[in-house]
Structure 1
Amino acid sequence: MKSASNTASSEHPLVLPEVAVNDMTSGIDWARDDHAVCIVDGRGREVARTMVEHTATGLRELIVFLGRHGVGEVAIERPDGPVVDTLLGAGLVVVVVSPNQVKNLRGRYGSAGNKDDRFDAYVLADTLRTDRARLRPLVPDTEATIALRRACRARKDLVKHRVAAANQLRAHLRNVFPGAVGLFQNLDSEISLAFLTRFDTQDRADWLTPKRLGEWLAKHSYSGRVDPAALHQRLLDAARGATGTHATSQAHITASYVALLRTLLSQIKALSAQIDRQLDAHADAHIFTSLPRAGRVRAARLLAEIGDCRARFPTPESLTCLAGAAPSTRQSGKLRAVGFRWACDKQLRDAVVDFAADSRHANPWAADLYDRARARGHDHAHSVRILARAWLHVIWHCWQNGLGYDPTQHRALQRVLATQTEAA
């Protein structure tokens, strides 16, 4: 099964021509409110420069400005957003040069290395002129993938906010109501938030008996396996919290955190449902949902961060390097060092590592690969990256062929299973 993106990506060039259109290149230093634009000719001379506002009118003026000077290629530091959409919509070739690269490239033009938007626009334009052999045009993903990526990243941000809010609530309760902290497994669970809404102070919790707590838990459909008497004992064993007027004043803070967490949980749930619907409608969903322990949200994150443009990753190595799963080798003379790859797509690496870490609990091959890495002395994080690199090779082949993961066709897995059978 071929993804719909294959057809779309074939309309874009995979490499830049030796000479730019009209021998003109442009660089845009993106900012929040306005953008610096520079155009250089084939000899690196500045032809024109301008500033455009980040408005609909400003972006139209940008296209007119570039068209007036015959520019067909633009270098910019980010791969998405209204500016990039406008450039691609106008039929221009967009080349992404990362901020880290621009920072290093400033040294070509002077030793000061100062950050200046107008100068960076020139650096981008001239780099597009001189380094064409190693630069690649941006081939956008389909709208379905872009929308899914934004939803997944938004959900991830909300989860971070939820964790932060829960930690803040925990720190607050340790001072004013310690018994509520360890009462249930998760402080931000529905039952825990319901408990803090009804029993927000030590005074109110003192009213509880095992029987009363059991009746309250039954009313709220508590599904935990802990006996109400044991939960009540936890309240008694915990340090006493604040009482009286001071406790009442602190209850307002507790209520604020509880309300915040309820809102975050509600929006995370809504986004998860939206992601689920978007995933079902995506042409590549079957590839990523077939992976072990991928689930729905995790599969959606993998799909969204890898994308659906096959031309972007012509080899498995190109995917593993961008995901930060391939080690970085530095060599000078007889000195050779292999270290962590810092320069990578952090969102992609996080999605792949999250999947790989959990896959070992469901896939014997993944578990064996992880265990052997640990036996060689690698820590957990390094071992998971080794496993992630191996998974990316598998995922790449499935992705390129448009096929779901089939354990019976995974030869390395079958060898591990055969070995385990013989050992038994």
Structure 2
Amino acid sequence: MTTTSQPSTEGAQDRRWAGIDWSSTDHAVCIIDEAGTAIDQFVITHDAPGLRQLIKVLLAAGVQEVGIERGDGPVVEALLQAELTVLVIPPSQVKNLRSRYRSAGNKDDRYDAFVLADTIRTDRARRTPLQRDSAATVAMRTTTRARRNLLAHRIAVCNQLAAHLQLVFPGAAGLFSKLDIPISLQFLTKFTTQTDADALTEKKLARWLTSVSYSGGTEPADLHTRLTTAARGITGPEAATHAVTTRAYIAILQALITQIAALEVDLAQQLTLHPDAVIFASLPRVRTLRITRLISEIGDARGRFPTPDALAALAGVVPSTRQSGKVTTISFRFACNRELRDALCDFADGSRHAHPWAKDIYQHAIDRGHTHPHAIRVLARAWTLIIWRCWQNHEAYDPTKHGALQALTHQQTA
């Protein structure tokens, strides 16, 4: 730890605040007093001794509240274990707050630590202390997001393989319905080049499909026709070279598919143990992955969303209103939790296919001239009111208690 000044021993009874500018290797810390004067500034390393020293200095200085730019990680865990109040100020806000103290607004770690500390000193009433989700929810969120990341990699690799095959073996690229399904990968493993496919007759292809238990519904004759009528791929000595690249993509895809499946099994097991599972499982048209996404992104720290509006705003399913003089503009809300918005909008989009009330809200939005994404956000906003109430009351969704749904049902049957 590098210290630039020592904590004052005078006025130890006064309140103290601290700001921490987080980094991957070390963290700049600033402690200020009630007058907003920096009484200690130092840097601690991002390791166990450094974090222990951080807590020791903060407690010795009488710090009770700490401002930081992120709400997770070892630093936050250490602060919470020391029973310090943590207030998260997003980096975008810190960037704007720099000009509050300096006209230049340049990035400086130690200066940012001071800005964080002084902001919670002056604007404490506008800040909500960090509330942690349960360990089960944090684990589910980690698994859910890891699956989504691997799924994105799978799509990217599949697209790369498709582009590669269009150049070297076009017939295989469109042979089956998808390129990253087991039958496609099995075919490419067995018949990797155009030369391999040229040796296939209709009968040989039929025998191979039987040997791998193909159940796709397309007749072998049709598949053989697709192969023979497609553009010719590369043959000759170069084909073997391109086959190495093809096999590399296949290996990556198979590994991704295997790991995604393993994460999905683990998520199903986690869901059986989560206390909020019954709440979200009661919603229409939800299955394991959709339920785990909703639980993961909404969390189970009820105090984080004291009103349904707070949940809707963080999810970005309500517009942002700006007013200046006589001009009022309503625009898309960019500042939000995108993972939460995606989870709620995904659920809302699915619900309209199985729930009359959801279908009605979506259709009314479309009739008003909204685009599909906008209409989905309107529906997600409506669902937010219901989900929040069920979530706060620890109750499953009951369609018979949904007044708007019952009114719509009576109207349709009248």
**Within 1, Cα distance between the matches of 2:125 and 2:216?**
61
1:93 to 66, 82, 85: 85
Cα deviations by residue, 1:78-127 (Å, 9 ceiling, x for unpaired): 11111111110111110011111111111101121111111111110000
Tell me the equivalent position of 1:150. 142
**Within 2, Cα distance between the matches of 1:356 and 1:235?**
41
Q: 2:62 matched to 1:70?
A: yes
Tell me the equivalent position of 1:12. none
**Within 1, Cα distance between the matches of 2:376 and 2:109?**
39
Q: 2:351 matched to 1:359?
A: yes
CA RMSD of aligned residues (A): 1.3
Shift of 1:44: 0.7
Shift of 1:209: 2.3
2:236 to 232, 241, 244: 244
Q: 1:21 to 1:141 in 2, by over 3 A?
A: farther
Tell me the equivalent position of 1:298. 290
Amino acid at match of 2:140: L
Shift of 1:21: 8.4
Identity of aligned residues (%): 56
Matches within 5 A, 1:18-33: 22-33=14-25
Shift of 1:306: 0.5
Say which structure, 1 or 2, has more relative contact order (CA 8 Å, 6+ apart).
Answer: 1
Cα deviations by residue, 1:343-372 (Å, 9 ceiling, x for unpaired): 111111111111111211111211111111
**Within 2, Cα distance between the matches of 1:257 and 1:122?**
49
Shift of 1:397: 0.8
Matches within 5 A, 1:162-173: 162-173=154-165
1:265 to 257, 281, 298: 257
What SS does structure 1 have at the residue aligned with 2:63? coil
Amino acid at match of 2:22: W
Tell me the equivalent position of 1:228. 220
- C-alpha contact (below 8 Å) 1:21/1:72 kept by paired residues: no
Amino acid at match of 1:263: A
- C-alpha contact (below 8 Å) 1:22/1:71 kept by paired residues: no
Amino acid at match of 2:258: S
Amino acid at match of 1:196: L
Tell me the equivalent position of 1:5. none
**Within 2, Cα distance between the matches of 1:207 and 1:290?**
54
Amino acid at match of 1:229: A
What SS does structure 1 have at the residue aligned with 2:131? coil
Matches within 5 A, 1:377-388: 377-388=369-380
1:368 to 360, 364, 386: 360
**Within 2, Cα distance between the matches of 1:414 and 1:147?**
38
**Within 1, Cα distance between the matches of 2:86 and 2:105?**
25
TM-score where L is the length of structure 1: 0.93
Q: 2:409 matched to 1:417?
A: yes
Which is further off, 323-332 or 109-118? 109-118
Tell me the equivalent position of 2:279. 287
Cα deviations by residue, 1:6-60 (Å, 9 ceiling, x for unpaired): xxxxxxxxxxxxxx98411000011111111111111110010111111111111
Structure 1 gap ranges (5+): 1-19
Q: 1:368 to 1:211 in 2, by over 3 A?
A: farther
1:53 to 17, 35, 45: 45
TM-score where L is the length of structure 2: 0.95
- C-alpha contact (below 8 Å) 1:21/1:71 kept by paired residues: no
Cα deviations by residue, 1:367-396 (Å, 9 ceiling, x for unpaired): 111111111111111111111111111110
Q: 2:171 matched to 1:176?
A: no
**Within 2, Cα distance between the matches of 1:89 and 1:407?**
42
Tell me the equivalent position of 1:404. 396
Shift of 1:76: 0.6
**Within 1, Cα distance between the matches of 2:178 and 2:351?**
24
**Within 2, Cα distance between the matches of 1:233 and 1:78?**
57
What SS does structure 2 have at the residue aligned with 1:72? strand
